[in-house]
Amino acid sequence: MSFQSLAFFGFLAAVIAACLLVGRRSLVVGKILLSAACLVFYLNGVSRPLMGFAVLFLGMAVTLAATGALCAGKNRRTVFAAAAGWHIAVLLIFKYTGFFTGGALRIGWAPVGLSFFTFQQLWYLKEVYTGEYTPAKTGLSGAGDFFLYTFFFPSVTSGPILRPGTFLPQLQEPFRPDWQDAAAGIYSICAGTVKKVLLADSFAVIVNNGWAYEESISAVTAWMMILGYTLQLYFDFSGYCDIALGAARLLGIRLPVNFDSPYRSLSVTEFWKRWHITLTTFLRECLYFPLGGSRKGVLRTYLNILIVFLVSGFWHGAGWTFIVWGALHGLAQVTERILGQWPERFPKLLRWGMTFLFLNLAWVFFRAPDVGSALTLLRTAFTPDFSLPAGWLVSGLLSKEVAAVGMLLPSLSERINVLLMAVLYGAGMLVVAWPRSTAREMENGCPGFLRSALLAVMTAWAIMSFTGVGTFIYSNF
């Protein structure tokens, strides 16, 4: 089920009402209702829903069986390796068969949310194996809680990746959100909806149009595409996470913060402490530290960093573009380690500009269909062709709104595209540069009247624009 639909808002209202009415009296019945809702959410609106659910449910059963053996102390290392190997093998088979066989063999589909599911199961197994987390319950009750950990509807398709020790203990208390939870949840859902529908999907129109005519673009158009995708990706994934945090908060459940104004970073290292925080934490604790971290010498540290970011790139997609993207980020972090404190001598604005430029250029490989196309776009961006973008770049962008403005203010018709681009990119940069993310704002209580009124208007506008809205980018990973 898509977050950006009236069906989801109706579903969410029904789930909140049922779980709160029943869950206050009987936690067991409340969790049963929530589990049923999670199942409905996962099975609704995706291709091969039953087959995808069966694959994930089998993986969940493998984790539960392994957990029982690990807690009983039976062949712990073998059990852990076998269960982890199962999850990794399933991910490789469904997502990477085509890559490893050069396209000769392809599965053709993968369960929705498989990448997030795999890392979350691995995190659970690792913490049980190391003793960092011990299941509070066993039997059917424990299995029911683990089902919610696995299929919790706000996070099942695109994260955030849940740490067992922070999520599962919250299921031991009745669903009793207070008014602050309700206000924060609604605020976050509205903010996320506006980010996705009005910003991410608007930038997507420009980016997609640009790639459709990539052979005839100027340097200016290339930079509009590059910056456009940088902003599109941020608002798309940040918007999803905001809605996920808000939906969970309405139940009194707090999900981990996944974004913390990442484009304000002064280094690539800082960026990864702010962008997709749960993925960074998982890779650090479940891969970087087991590899030896920084405890085995300088060269081994650099190698471990590169391995982590190559895995990160490959996790995002089965293609050389994602591997190059991961390698670029790994090399950037190694370079920053080598430079040490030296860059801090420079003004913060310069450090921010260099970091933001690097992120923009690296995202080109994340979006491009192949490495050759990415290099072609980058070459175009650095050519001395300063021709202004053609009208086709904004074709289809807010078409209904543009038509209405043209009817009301005919004098703006000739300049509407320029104004539209200026407002869109200006608003995008203003939001990503804002000091506090939505997740941080949720902790500050209700916004003032003017901000609330503006957000209400923007949300209403976004809801009226649901038709034709694209899926979230990270739901493909």
Which residues are known catalytic residues? Answer: 316
Q: Taking the chain, what is the end-to-end CA distance rounded to the nearest angstrom? A: 16
SS3 144: helix
Helices (H), 340-370: 348-367
Please give the distance of CA 467 from its chain centroid, rounded to a whole number: 22
- Quickly tell me which residue has 């290339």 as its tokens: 222
Q: Please tell me the distance from the alpha carbon of residue 262 to that of residue 347, in angstroms, as a whole number.
A: 19
Q: What is the DSSP letter of 170?
A: G
What is the sign, positive or negative, of the torsion defined by CA atoms of 81, 82, 87, 93? Answer: positive
Residue 305 contacts by C-beta under 8 Å, 6 or more apart in sequence?
288, 330, 333, 334, 337
Which tokens go with 152? Answer: 């919790």
CA gap 10, 2 in Å, rounded: 12
CA atoms within 13 A on the CB side of 231: 28
What is the distance, to the nearest Å, from the Cα of residue 357 to the centroid of all Cα atoms in its chain? 21
Render 219-258 in DSSP notation, one character per residue.
Answer: HHHHHHHHHHHHHHHHHHHHHHHHHHHHHHHTTT--PPP-
